[in-house]
Copies of this chain bind each other. A is one copy, B any other.
Amino acid sequence: MTMSSYESLTTESAVSLVKKLGLFAQSESLSCQEIGDGNLNYVFHIIGKEKSVIVKQALPYAKVVGESWPLTLERADIENRALRLQGKYAPDYTPKVYYSDKDLAITIMEDLSHLEIARTGLINGEDYPLIAEHTGEFIARTLYSTSDFAMGPQEKKKLQNTFCNPELCDITEGLVFTDPFFDADTNDFEEGLRSDVEKIWQDTALKLHAAQLKRLFLTSGDALLHGDLHTGSIFASARETKVIDPEFAFYGPFGFDIAHFTANLFMNALSRPESRREPVYAHIATVWDVFNREFTRLWKEDNKEAFARTEGYLKWLLADIFEQATGFMGLEMIRRTIGLAHVKDLDGIADTETRLEAKRRSLSIGARFVKERRQFSTADELVEAFKEGL
List residues of A whose CB falls within 8 A of some B CB.
148, 153-154, 157-158, 160-161, 164-167, 169-170, 173, 178, 181-182, 204, 207-208, 210-212, 214-215, 218-222, 305-307, 310-313, 316-317
Indicate if the CB atoms of A307 and B219 lie closer than 8 Å.
no
9 examples of A-B residue contacts, CB within 8 angstroms: A157-B169, A178-B306, A182-B306, A208-B312, A208-B316, A211-B305, A215-B317, A219-B221, A221-B221
The secondary-structure label for the interface of chain A is helix
A167 to B157, CA, bound (A): 10
- How far is the CB of A151 from the nearest CB of chain B, in Å? 11
Q: What 9 pairs across the A-B complex have the smallest Cβ distances?
A: A211-B307, A157-B166, A154-B166, A161-B164, A207-B310, A208-B312, A178-B306, A204-B311, A148-B218
- Given contacts A148-B218, A148-B219, A307-B210, whether A157 and B164 have CB atoms under 8 Å apart is yes
- How far is the CB of A155 from the nearest CB of chain B, in Å? 8
A-B contact sample (15 more), CB < 8 A, given A204-B310, A211-B307: A148-B219, A153-B169, A153-B170, A154-B167, A157-B166, A158-B164, A182-B306, A204-B311, A208-B310, A208-B313, A208-B316, A210-B307, A211-B305, A211-B313, A219-B220
A170 to B210, CA, bound (A): 33
